[in-house]
Structure 1
Amino acid sequence: MSVRRFVGANSRDVMRQVREALGDDALILANRRTEGGVEILAMADEAVDHFDPSPTPEPERAATPAFSAPTADPLQAMSERLLREMQDMRELLTRQQQATSASVAGDTSTRLRQLLARVGFSDELSSEVLAGLPDALITAADDSDQPLVWLREQLMARLPVLAQENSFFDQTGIVALVGPTGVGKTTTTAKLAARFVMRHGTRPVALVTTDSFRIGAHEQLRIYARLLDTPMYALDAEQPIDDLLGRLQGKQWVIIDTVGMSQRDQRVIEQIAHLQGGQSSVRLVLLLNAASQPETLEEVVLRYRQAARAAGAELDDCIITKQDEAGRLAPVLDIIMRHGMRVLFGSHGQQVPEDMAVANPAALIDQALSSQATSARQPAAASLSLPRWSRDVLGQGRRLSSVLTRLRQRVADFARLEAVWDIAALPSAVQDERLDRLLAGPSAADNILGMAWSPRRNERGCDWSMPDMGLDANGAWAALPYLQHRQPAGWQPRLAAQGDALGVAVHLLPALPDAEALAWLEAQHLTWVSLVPAGQRVYSQGARYAQRQLFIDSTLTHHISVRFRGQPMQLWSAYAEVTDAAGNALLAWYGEIRDPESAKRVARRYWVTPVRLGAEAVSLLATQLQGEGVTALTKRAWQQLKEADSGDISTEVRLLMASGAAAVAGHLDSADDDAALALRTDIMLLLGTQRKRRDTALLDGLIHAFMARDAIRQLGSVSREGVV
């Protein structure tokens, strides 16, 4: 169908003709008044894309005389031009939509979000996780496995679990399993009891049931107790556990199989209140059926935790049951992560005790992501959802927990740095004594390979000297520095003391030490590099030179990438063989720090190293350069803490807090592996704002993380044993 001409006595008449011929969606191309009335050119909307210019259309009514000359009709020409423009516009819009669709389909974030939705994770958790997707992965190729590796690590970091089985069973006390009917409490009671018996024998354990409603419940648990050769006691649901204490003398580990109740049953609060009502402390563990619908699981967690809070108790631990019956594991893991619970064990069958294992984040996440279920995910009921602000706080809390967990695993001595921050929360009168005790205790000595020694003077504008920084086996900064004034006087005693205490094999020196210290370093066959001034005197081919003179005409051809004062730079270097005044063979080094884009020189440095190190020493020079940024970060952190603590923190504690946070920030700023990239992203997301300088942003994010952790601890309970 092409363009059609309609002629009528007036506009109403001609529009009626158009509607009758082409329908209500007809496209009006042009109109004009003629001697006979009104003329309109129109066509059907669906014909626009197929329009091909055709001879002048005949009118619907013979109200216009034939054209006497072969000249083109101006109205017809205008209509064809409009149609061509409309076709071009539609084609352009179509191409843009196709390009956008292709872009969306190929976007890593979209692909990962689709995967998370397909296997059963919520939009809320997906948005929280993908907010930290590194820029480098957003445009990754479709066949790259790096985005999935990153996603797996992010999910694992958000899933707190029991670190070791012994840490659970070695804690004496009373454990009560709670949850709805049919979730598997009795079988799980038997599995836990069997595992305890395997470690500690039958004498210290006892089983208790409060289920007097379900037919055969007592008998089922009694059979398990008989097989395990452990005593079993029945407790009325309204009795406190104290009523059994006399009969439980000598029992170190008691596990209670409670009566199953719907999460909507108001008696849930009463049940938990009775468990907590006596003098004995009862640890609650919630059982979650992996095969339940997400809405049901959400409601179970909310209602049971509300009941626990109403009874003045905590309900932070859970056990996943019926994993073998679940089509998808992601929904239960999603709810556990969003509510900040800890998974102790996973149960996947009826055999006692074989079909239960300590929760393993890698295995659980792999099982969740491997599900290819395509059924539509139903959101939890709106009435059960937490307020938006509350969910945001939980999301931040999960990110904070994940960050701290990964820092403990990655950075040597990070746990001791956390302990220093704990000391800062104590009364000032006891801080120094607690710090003495902490520093005298064990450290991550096995992980400390080297030491970056700081100048023996106060920092400019400060009344403190920069602590010495430890290096782990990978050459990265350890989290807890070493205070200078707690070390022996003199270079050689200081070096020897750390060598004996930590086994330090690499020494990065801020100045050339005295002859005694150098002789000791060489006698011990230790690795060392020393920063020196440009005027340092050395001997080359029998002549004495200031070190700068050796490299006046040198061409610097070798370079490596470094992070210098928070910016990506390049270290260009050259070296020459020299001797010192005592005749020791050395290498004299000259280095220029240059901007990689402009090639402009930013700074220059001079070093000496033992000749035996050769060109391999350049990596140590780069490490020492990067340490200069840690000093600047320490000053920044010191000032922030001083303004925040109102003078309530001792000088030593504050200095360790500041330099430790700076060391961790420097560690992450200098690292280039994927795990460091993910950590940097999550730390800076804690701030909620974008920063230009990465090192200062990391420092501020870490201080924010520590302060948030301390605030949470002030309001809530501290972590239990063996959970990460």
Structure 2
Amino acid sequence: MSAQRFIGANSRDAMNQVRLALGEEALILSSRMTAAGVEIMALGDAPQNPPSLLDGLLEAGFSAGFSATLVASAPTQLPDATPARLKAWLLQRLDSQLNQLTNEAELFDDATVIALVGPTGVGKTTTTAKLAARYVMRHGPGQVALVTTDSFRIGAHEQLHIYAQLLGVELHALAPDAPLGPLLGGLAAKRLVLIDTAGMSQRDQRLLTQIQQLGNGGRALRLMLVLNAASHGDTLDEVVHTYREAAHAAGCRLDDCIISKCDEAARLGPVLDTVIRHGLRLNYLSTGQQVPEDLQLPGASNFLQQALDSGRPSRFAQAPGMSTGLHLNALVRGLLGQRKALMALRDSLAVHIQQPLNAPTSRAAPATRGSRRVVYQGAPQRLSSLAGQAEGFGSHELRYRNRHARLTLRHLPLVHKGTPLRAWFGTLQDSHSGQRLGQRYWLAEAQGALNEQAADLVQAIKHEALKSLTERGSALLLDLHPHLPADLRQHLATGLAATAVHLTHASEDWAFQARAQLLGLLPKKPRGHASEILDGLLYLSAVTSSL
């Protein structure tokens, strides 16, 4: 336990700080009014840090290498990086790296022959029936046919025959050594042919022969690998690698997959990890035995959320404390691998940033020095000496130099060079510790509306870095584009600087995600300063223009 000091604008504000830092069980030692506000001394244990993102991924079943790479750019250094926001960031990162089928019509319109392949017992026959049922619901039974090549498993043909009768579609059986071409030739009028293949271990020597048989059918073939979500990660990795090698040797491509038995898997991390690392497109998730209800598009489920919610600790997870060194092995992803995320970030900024940048500029009076001489009650005095005489006008929460800060405003009527003015005093303090961060002074029109002037001063604090950021942006643009006209370079630098300032202060979730992604583009671990956000914006513009 440790005693800590908290200062707030009022008792409620100070108590909120206590609860945030020490929890509901904190012991209040003292409470008193000070010139800075209400001061509370409290004793308590700081809340335990939540499990790290890396540990959470490992517990969810993701591989060590993939997990370390994924969290290498996590925005944990940002002051507003709450556990909920970090988890949302992680979900977004997974979603951006997972190639998913979003439009079922696209699959059915492009493919004419789909062959489901995979090891024994992964659910290929039931999944074939589910696909057929979904197609029948869209286009009717007359345009689809089923083919089975499974003559090894007892009852396989009969099982698919029952589904074919229920759906009203044709079913054809192909002998193990028979060529596929003549059969597909007879089904040329069918828009879609679904082939249920015999289960084949990734170590079976006949695997290449099976895929060669499928590839010699004379019609465009789409191989779709069915992966069992309940399998071990190493097994899944071997299955994908071996099947893709066999497809390549047979002159085919294997770029698609379906994940089966999601309802049976204790953890979904291993299969999701495998799909992402191998760049497979995830078309469907199979979540049960019902036909066709238990076949879903990835976007229609909370699959990624389930993958992160492992539920309870695994007996087979890595021992605590062993994950620290894994950060050293994080690999830098190629730009093409980030294309989806970068384009989404660019579009998000275009939507959210344009309106604030088009808003009227601040009308705030320029800041002045505390040493300036003014006249108050007929006597000349230093401006800074009058702060105690000023009337309070509320406080405002904002971000100041990458910290949560509180700006407390006071105002006082006075005279400067014979002109009646209103002096404003702004005190900046750390929102959590109460540490004084700075003092500001302004001289404004005496007759101006108080609310408008106060709002302008808050904006002035937020935009203090605009000039230096514009200069930095102009210098960086000069290095990147030396032949760019000076006026255009200055215009771009101003826009980028204003965008960086707006992103620095915006508190919405979209802004946190944008900051996290921009800072994740930088080679060094950033702290979230506006200058780093500006660098990220420049990097984003350079990268997206080259992709």
Same fold (TM over 0.5): yes
Q: Give the superposition deviation at 1:186.
A: 1.9
* 2-structure distance, mates of 1:656, 1:257: 61
**Residue correspondence of structure 1 range 265-304 to structure 2 within 5 A:** 265=204, 268=207, 281-304=220-243
Q: TM-score, normalised by structure 2?
A: 0.62
Structure 2 residue matching 1:186: 3-state secondary structure:
helix
Q: Give the superposition deviation at 1:321.
A: 0.7
**Residue correspondence of structure 1 range 34-113 to structure 2 within 5 A:** 108-109=50-51
Q: Which moved more, 1:283-292 or 1:658-667?
A: 658-667
Q: Which residue is 2:188 aligned to?
A: 248
Structure 1 residue matching 2:524: 3-state secondary structure:
coil
Q: Which residue is 2:111 aligned to?
A: 173
Q: Does the 8 A contact of 2:364 with 2:453 survive in 1? A: no
Structure 2, gaps ≥5 residues long: 1-44, 320-325, 368-385, 414-420, 430-434
Q: Give the superposition deviation at 1:560.
A: 2.7
Paired residue type of 1:701: G
Q: Which residue is 1:348 aligned to?
A: 287
Q: Say if 1:202 and 1:295 are closer, same or farther in 2 by CA, change over 3 A.
A: same
Q: Which residue is 1:262 aligned to?
A: 201
- Alignment partner of 1:372 is 2:372: no
Q: Say if 1:643 and 1:114 are closer, same or farther in 2 by CA, change over 3 A.
A: closer
The equivalent position to 1:358 in structure 2, one of 286, 297, 302, is 297
Paired residue type of 1:157: R
Q: Say if 1:403 and 1:256 are closer, same or farther in 2 by CA, change over 3 A.
A: same
* 2-structure distance, mates of 1:371, 1:688: 34
Q: Say if 1:182 and 1:245 are closer, same or farther in 2 by CA, change over 3 A.
A: same
Paired residue type of 1:290: A
Q: Does the 8 A contact of 1:178 with 1:185 survive in 2? A: yes
Q: Say if 1:361 and 1:632 are closer, same or farther in 2 by CA, change over 3 A.
A: farther
Q: Does the 8 A contact of 1:589 with 1:608 survive in 2? A: yes
Q: Which residue is 1:688 aligned to?
A: 523
Q: Which residue is 1:407 aligned to?
A: 345
* 1-structure distance, mates of 2:494, 2:157: 60
Q: Which residue is 1:188 aligned to?
A: 127
- Alignment partner of 1:699 is 2:537: no
- Alignment partner of 1:124 is 2:65: yes
Q: Which residue is 2:163 aligned to?
A: 224
- CA shift digits 1:523-542 (9 cap, x unpaired): xxxxxx756889xxxxxxxx
Paired residue type of 2:309: L
- Alignment partner of 1:319 is 2:258: yes
Paired residue type of 1:127: A
Q: Which residue is 2:20 aligned to?
A: none
**Residue correspondence of structure 1 range 577-596 to structure 2 within 5 A:** 596=429
Q: Say if 1:320 and 1:235 are closer, same or farther in 2 by CA, change over 3 A.
A: same
Q: Which residue is 1:39 aligned to?
A: none
* 2-structure distance, mates of 1:636, 1:276: 58
Paired residue type of 2:184: L
Paired residue type of 1:509: P
* 2-structure distance, mates of 1:625, 1:604: 11
The equivalent position to 1:508 in structure 2, one of 355, 359, 362, is 359
Structure 1, gaps ≥5 residues long: 1-102, 141-145, 380-387, 414-443, 449-468, 472-476, 482-506, 511-528, 535-552, 578-587, 714-724
Q: Which residue is 1:470 aligned to?
A: 354
Q: Give the superposition deviation at 1:570.
A: 6.6
* 2-structure distance, mates of 1:602, 1:228: 76
* 2-structure distance, mates of 1:119, 1:219: 38
Q: Does the 8 A contact of 2:79 with 2:402 survive in 1? A: no
Q: Say if 1:560 and 1:295 are closer, same or farther in 2 by CA, change over 3 A.
A: same
Q: Does the 8 A contact of 1:209 with 1:257 survive in 2? A: yes
Q: Does the 8 A contact of 1:561 with 1:569 survive in 2? A: yes
* 2-structure distance, mates of 1:665, 1:608: 33
Q: Say if 1:137 and 1:697 are closer, same or farther in 2 by CA, change over 3 A.
A: closer
Structure 2 residue matching 1:199: 3-state secondary structure:
helix
Pairs aligned (count): 460
Paired residue type of 1:615: N
Instruction: Quote the sequence identity (%).
Output: 35
**Residue correspondence of structure 1 range 374-393 to structure 2 within 5 A:** 374-377=314-317, 392-393=330-331
* 2-structure distance, mates of 1:238, 1:666: 68
* 1-structure distance, mates of 2:168, 2:541: 48
Structure 2 residue matching 1:560: 3-state secondary structure:
strand
Structure 2 residue matching 1:288: 3-state secondary structure:
strand
Q: Give the superposition deviation at 1:650.
A: 11
Q: Does the 8 A contact of 2:412 with 2:424 survive in 1? A: no
* 1-structure distance, mates of 2:494, 2:544: 18
Q: Which moved more, 1:152-161 or 1:591-600?
A: 591-600
Q: Does the 8 A contact of 2:349 with 2:514 survive in 1? A: no
The equivalent position to 1:134 in structure 2, one of 76, 92, 103, is 76
Q: Give the superposition deviation at 1:352.
A: 0.6
Paired residue type of 1:369: D
Q: Say if 1:338 and 1:679 are closer, same or farther in 2 by CA, change over 3 A.
A: farther
**Residue correspondence of structure 1 range 511-522 to structure 2 within 5 A:** none
